[in-house]
Chain A
Amino acid sequence: MKLTVDERWDLIDKIAEQVVKYGEYRYRLKDAIADITVKPLTGIPIAIAVLYGFWSFFGAFAGFFTDGFLVKLFDNHWLPWLQEVFPGKGGWLYYIFVGDPAADNCFEAFGVLTSALFVAIGVVLPAIVAFYLFLIILEDTGYLPRLAVLVDTVLHKIGLHGFAVIPMILSLGCNVPAVIATRALETGKQRFMMAVLLAIFIPCGAQLGIMFKVIPGHVGFVMLYLLAGFFVFGFILDRLLPGKSPEILLDVPPYQRPIAKNVTRKLWMRVKSFFKVAIPFVLLGVIIVNLMYLTGFLGWLANLLEPLLCGWFGVPKETVGPLVAAFLRKDLAVAQLSAIEMTMPQLVTSVVLVSLYFPCVATFAMLIREGREGGLKGVSQYLFGGLGALIAVIFLWGGLIRLIWIILGVA
Chain B
Amino acid sequence: MKLNKEMKFEIGRVYFAILGAVVLGIGIAEMLLGVTGRSFEWGIMEMSGEFLLWRGLILFFAGTFYLSSIQNFSDIHQLAKTVMASVMIWIIAGMKIFSMILESIPGGEEGGWFNTLEGFLASYSAPYIPSIFLLPFSLLVLYYIKLVESEEKMDGMKEESQPTGSGGDT
Interface, chain A (partner B; CB < 8 A): 20-29, 32-33, 35-37, 42, 45-46, 48-50, 52-53, 55-57, 59-61, 63-64, 67-69, 72
Q: Which residues of B contact A56 (CB under 8 A)?
A: 51, 95-96, 98-99
Least Cβ–Cβ distance between B97 and chain A, in angstroms: 10
Let me know if A32 and B79 touch, CB within 8 A. yes
Known: A21-B166, A23-B168, A25-B170. A64 touches B105 (CB 8 A): yes
Name the one of A20, A28, A36, A68 contacting B105, with C-beta atoms under 8 angstroms: A68
Least Cβ–Cβ distance between A205 and chain B, in angstroms: 18
B18 interface residue, CB < 8 Å from A? no
B23 interface residue, CB < 8 Å from A? no
Let me know if A26 and B155 touch, CB within 8 A. yes
Let me know if A29 and B168 touch, CB within 8 A. no
Let me know if B57 and A48 touch, CB within 8 A. yes
Bound-state Cα–Cα, A296 to B57, Å: 52
| A-B pairs, 7 with minimum CB distance | A68-B106, A45-B61, A21-B168, A32-B80, A56-B95, A60-B99, A64-B102
Let me know if B55 and A52 touch, CB within 8 A. yes
Q: How many A-B contacts at CB < 8 Å in the complex?
A: 111
Let me know if A36 and B91 touch, CB within 8 A. no
Let me know if B91 and A52 touch, CB within 8 A. yes
Q: Which residue of A lies closest to B152 (CB)?
A: A28
Let me know if A68 and B149 touch, CB within 8 A. no
Let me know if A23 and B167 touch, CB within 8 A. yes
Q: Which residues of A contact B99 (CB under 8 A)?
A: 56, 59-60, 63
B84 interface residue, CB < 8 Å from A? yes
Least Cβ–Cβ distance between B165 and chain A, in angstroms: 6
Q: Which residues of B contact A48 (CB under 8 A)?
A: 54, 57-58, 61
Least Cβ–Cβ distance between A346 and chain B, in angstroms: 23
Bound-state Cα–Cα, A28 to B152, Å: 7
Let me know if A37 and B84 touch, CB within 8 A. yes
Least Cβ–Cβ distance between A173 and chain B, in angstroms: 20
Least Cβ–Cβ distance between B8 and chain A, in angstroms: 15
Q: Which residues of B contact A37 (CB under 8 A)?
A: 84
Apart from A36-B80, A45-B61, A57-B95, what are 17 other A-B pairs with CB-CB below 8 Å?
A21-B167, A21-B169, A23-B166, A24-B166, A29-B145, A32-B79, A37-B84, A42-B65, A42-B84, A46-B87, A49-B61, A52-B92, A56-B98, A56-B99, A60-B95, A60-B102, A68-B106
Q: Which residues of B contact A24 (CB under 8 A)?
A: 166
Let me know if A33 and B83 touch, CB within 8 A. yes
Bound-state Cα–Cα, A410 to B42, Å: 35
Known: A21-B166, A21-B170, A63-B102. A46 touches B88 (CB 8 A): yes
